[in-house]
Copies of this chain bind each other. A is one copy, B any other.
């Protein structure tokens, strides 16, 4: 195996596939990156048996072959090489030479035969989507994915398509984030649950608004293909929670507020709420229909702050976990939002005022 490539491109490709390299694995081959040189080019692979990432590398492929190299060491070495041109080759004992300028590294490799195969996504349905749109959809839902392993279906986002709209939903038992996107095309009908970790990595590699991405899904796997990078993940099996019945259509109290003003006040309140203690709420109250009072009180002290709002309907007092408001307010890009309350113990819905694409439901803490 032998190829010549650019240090900076190789560094970039390594850092992409490293995201799927297991750091806690006990199998040393899974700590590695698979390097594959064929007549089609050079490909790097990282795979932790759940998420696999393959990156194509612009390189001069001089001799076919493959080898596995320790991911961390490979990344550190390449980043520090003295010259932009890098030559990488293996000998028959799997010793990997990394040559740049007068620097010659020889690193022990492992046989590619022992490296697990990333599943092929066969008999797949496909959707073409702009990278920027999918990136936003992930950003606006992923924070509500549950980490509670006792309900595995909630450890991913439900990704569904009804033929013309794509929808992503995440629920953790206390809140729900929903993002719709009108596609206006004739799309296949699909519904599957993508693990949060895979979506997190997809969100990181996605680029600009004007670049396409193809999503393929089979019964058990999903493949996100940007052309240069492919991310494969297993799907979570099981029936997702029937969330449509949870979302109330109207609210008893309707409030309009600037998300930035509400976010910074709740962030200040969270400073005096011990983060581990979910029982300490941020308290919202409405002395009149133009004022929201945000307050918090713990053994450290108190905060009281007023935010200008417009309220119609009943004026109520209600308690929340500040984290749940902060996560959602951070992903609303601009414009005022509407917050609908349903009494002090009912669910609260947050939506951008001007669009119907995003909705966020959060349950209050009972008084």
Interface residues of A (CB under 8 A from B): 70, 73, 76-77, 80-82, 95-96, 102-108, 264-265, 267-268, 271-272, 299-307
Q: Is the CB of B305 within 8 A of A77?
A: no
A105 to B269, CA, bound (A): 9
Give the residues in chain B near A80, CB-CB below 8 Å: 264, 267-268, 271
A103 engages B305 (CB within 8 Å): yes
In-complex Cβ contact of A102 among B82, B105, B267, B305 (8 A):
B305
Closest to A107 in B: B301
A272 to B300, CA, bound (A): 49
Chain B residues in 8 Å Cβ range of A70 = 300
Interface pair A306/B102, CB less than 8 Å apart: yes
The listed residue (B76, B96, B106, B271) touching A73 by CB distance below 8 A is B271
Chain B residues within an 8 Å CB radius of A305? 102-104
Within the complex, what minimum Cβ distance (angstroms) separates A169 from chain B?
32
Evaluate contact between B108 and A77: CB separation under 8 angstroms: no
Knowing A82-B264, A264-B82, say if A303 contacts B271 (CB, 8 Å). no
Q: Are B73 and A105 in contact (CB under 8 A)?
A: no
Please report the C-alpha to C-alpha distance between residue A70 and residue B298 in the assembled complex, in whole angstroms.
14
Q: Which of A104, A105, A108, A307 counts the most B-chain CB atoms under 10 A from its CB?
A: A105
Chain B residue at minimum C-beta to C-beta distance from A308: B102
Chain B residues, Cβ within 8 Å of A73? 271-272, 300-301
A303/B104 in contact, CB under 8 A = yes
With A77-B271, A271-B77 as known contacts, state yes or no: A108 contacts B301, CB within 8 Å. Answer: yes
Contact B102 A300 (CB under 8 A): no
Alpha-carbon gap, A102 to B302, bound state (A): 14
User: In the complex, A271 Cα to B102 Cα: how many Å?
Assistant: 16
Q: Quick one: closest B residue to A73, CB to CB?
A: B300
Measured between beta carbons, the chain B residues less than 8 angstroms from A267 are: 80
- What is the bound-complex CA distance between A121 and B80, given in angstroms? 48
Instruction: Determine the distance from Cα of A91 to Cα of B102 in the docked complex, in whole angstroms.
Output: 70
Residue from the list B300, B304, B306, B307 in contact with A107, Cβ < 8 A: B300
CB < 8 Å neighbour of A106 from B96, B107, B108, B302: B302
Contact of B272 with A303 in the complex, beta carbons under 8 Å: no
The reply to whether B108 and A300 form a contact with Cβ atoms under 8 Å apart is yes
Q: Please judge, given known A-B contacts A70-B300, A271-B76, A272-B73, whether A265 and B105 are in contact too, CB under 8 Å.
A: no
Contact check: which of B103, B300, B301 meets A303 at CB < 8 Å? B103
State which of B81, B105, B306 has its C-beta within 8 Å of the C-beta of A272: B105
Bound together, the chains give a CA A96 to CA B302 distance in angstroms of 10
Chain B, Cβ-Cβ closest to A80: B268
- Residues on B with C-beta less than 8 A from A96 are 301
* Residue among A95, A103, A104, A307 with the highest chain B CB neighbour number at 10 A: A103
Cross-chain pairs A/B with CB under 8 angstroms, 17 sampled: A70-B300, A73-B271, A77-B271, A80-B264, A80-B267, A82-B265, A95-B301, A102-B307, A103-B304, A104-B303, A105-B268, A105-B272, A105-B301, A106-B301, A106-B302, A107-B301, A108-B300
Given A103-B268, A104-B303, 18 other A-B contacts at CB below 8 A?
A70-B300, A73-B301, A77-B268, A77-B271, A77-B272, A80-B267, A80-B268, A80-B271, A81-B268, A82-B265, A82-B268, A95-B301, A103-B303, A103-B304, A104-B305, A105-B272, A105-B303, A106-B301
